């Protein structure tokens, strides 16, 4: 049997062989697409769509205020990418007292931003205009929330303690997962509600909106993304089995448990694994039922080995946590001796392995 001590280096050698320009993480700063405030009001007639601040918490006047903010993730991050990290940055510019916790909750329904402007620095709200979000309306004045005060996830995606005036950030694993979902399913991206402490009076704070006069204080969603780990298959194996190739786990950076598994070959038969830069479109037939699925111009031998007594072979491949490997694909296909079957050399299906996040 082949010694597998070199397998920790496999991805660094083979996966970068075809990636002269290595992929890396990319950071984007996304500006808010919409923001507003839901003011607790039995008539559902207050909003602040064009205001320079949005509010969350409960002022001394008593009525609850909830912020609403949305970012168009899919317009700034290419489809199919993996979100590595995400962080919301808000500037709080008006406060009564503190500190208090402020939590982000995903909206489960869409909402709007009209041209309303609130009184008293925005804290009192103003008459809602067409398509504004209000305590009762998703879009004033025709579309209602299912629940007064907004439809949102009960669990917070991220929580931050806000005290004195300044810049604050929200981030967590759940928040990053929200952003990933907003990229993968743009139609379900309704943004987040910002909730303060609603259990007592005097907790409200104001945050700068996208209409804020100081551009450096406007809301920002800071996102880092990179290629997503993936495995794709082409073709069908041949032979009496037929010979097959599959992956165990995903080629995620840092995954020490990733492996390739060959099965259904002739027990004890000699075996070879080849790599190439890409698949060969539709494959190249070299016998009546067998095809070379790899690009012959970049083909090279990775290893020779032998199938075990069950006609199988497992190749562990520890994927290093090296961001430079993200997106560097390699196409792989196995071949084995099978006496009495056509040319005597059978092939597996081919896999394209792409390490990523």
Domain boundary among 208, 226, 244: 226
Mean pLDDT to the nearest integer, 80-100: 94
Is the pLDDT at 246 greater than 60? The verdict is yes
- The DSSP annotation for 221-274 comes to EEEEEEPPPEEEEES---TTTT-EEEEES--BTT-TT-EEEEESS-TT-EEEEE
208 plus 94 within the same structural domain: yes
55 plus 177 within the same structural domain: yes
263 plus 333 within the same structural domain: yes
Q: What is the pLDDT of residue 12?
A: 46
Q: What is the pLDDT of residue 63?
A: 96
307-338 pLDDT tens trace: 999 999 999 999 999 988 899 999 999 999 99
Q: What is the pLDDT of residue 21?
A: 43
The confidence band for 303, taking pLDDT boundaries of 50, 70 and 90, is very high
Mean pLDDT to the nearest integer, 193-215: 97
50 plus 66 within the same structural domain: yes
CA atoms of 199 and 125, how far apart (whole Å) = 21
77 plus 121 within the same structural domain: yes
**What is the maximum span of the chain, computed from C-alpha positions, in angstroms?**
88
147 plus 75 within the same structural domain: yes
The confidence band for 4, taking pLDDT boundaries of 50, 70 and 90, is very low
Q: What is the pLDDT of residue 16?
A: 47
Domain boundary among 226, 241, 258: 226
121-164 pLDDT tens trace: 889 999 999 999 999 999 999 999 999 999 999 999 999 999 99
Torsion of CA 39, 215, 106, 57, to 10 degrees: -40
140 plus 182 within the same structural domain: yes
Is the pLDDT at 30 greater than 50? The verdict is yes
The confidence band for 14, taking pLDDT boundaries of 50, 70 and 90, is low
Domain boundary among 168, 198, 226: 226
Is the pLDDT at 285 greater than 60? The verdict is yes
Is the pLDDT at 13 greater than 80? The verdict is no
Q: How many domains does the chain have?
A: 2
196 plus 266 within the same structural domain: no
180 plus 299 within the same structural domain: no
Tokens 């390490």, located at residue: 355
Query: Which pTM was predicted?
Result: 0.85
61 plus 196 within the same structural domain: yes
Q: Exposure string (b/e) for 314-347, b if CB count within 10 Å is 16 or more?
A: ebebbbbebbbbbbbbbbbbbbbbbeebeeebbb
102 plus 220 within the same structural domain: yes
11 plus 52 within the same structural domain: no
Residue numbers of the domain that contains 107: 26-226
- Here the CATH number for the domain that contains residue 253 is 2.20.130.20
């Amino acid at each position: 049997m082949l010694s597998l001590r070199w397998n920790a280096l496999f991805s660094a050698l083979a996966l970068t062989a075809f990636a002269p320009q290595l992929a890396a993480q990319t950071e984007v700063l996304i500006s808010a697409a919409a923001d507003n405030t839901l003011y607790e009001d039995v008539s559902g007639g207050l909003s602040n769509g064009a205001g320079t601040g949005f509010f969350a918490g409960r002022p001394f006047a008593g009525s609850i205020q909830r912020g609403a903010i949305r970012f168009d993730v899919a317009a700034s991050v290419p489809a199919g990418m993996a979100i590595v990290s995400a962080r919301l940055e808000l500037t709080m510019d008006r406060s009564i007292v503190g500190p208090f916790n402020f939590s982000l909750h995903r909206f489960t329904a869409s909402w709007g931003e009209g041209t309303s402007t609130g009184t008293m620095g925005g804290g009192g709200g103003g008459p809602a205009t067409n398509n504004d979000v209000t305590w009762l309306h998703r879009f004033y004045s025709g579309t209602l929330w299912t629940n007064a005060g907004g439809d949102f996830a009960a669990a917070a995606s991220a929580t931050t303690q806000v005290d004195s005036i300044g810049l604050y950030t929200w981030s967590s694993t759940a928040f990053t997962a929200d952003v990933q979902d907003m990229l993968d399913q743009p139609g379900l991206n309704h943004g987040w509600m910002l909730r303060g402490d609603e259990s007592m009076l005097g907790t409200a704070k104001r945050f700068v909106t996208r209409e804020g006069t100081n551009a450096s204080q406007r809301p920002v969603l800071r996102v880092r993304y990179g290629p997503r780990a993936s495995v794709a298959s082409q073709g069908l194996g041949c032979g009496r089995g037929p010979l097959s190739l599959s992956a165990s786990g995903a080629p995620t950076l840092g995954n020490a448990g990733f492996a390739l598994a060959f099965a259904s070959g002739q027990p004890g038969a000699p075996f070879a694994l080849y790599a190439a830069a890409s698949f060969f479109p539709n494959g190249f037939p070299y016998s009546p039922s067998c095809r070379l699925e790899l690009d012959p111009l970049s083909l090279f031998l990775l290893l020779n080995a032998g199938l075990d007594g069950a006609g199988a072979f497992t190749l562990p491949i520890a994927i290093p946590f090296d961001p430079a490997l993200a997106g560097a694909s390699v196409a792989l296909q196995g071949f084995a001796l099978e006496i009495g079957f056509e040319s005597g050399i059978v092939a597996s299906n081919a896999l394209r392995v792409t390490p990523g996040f």
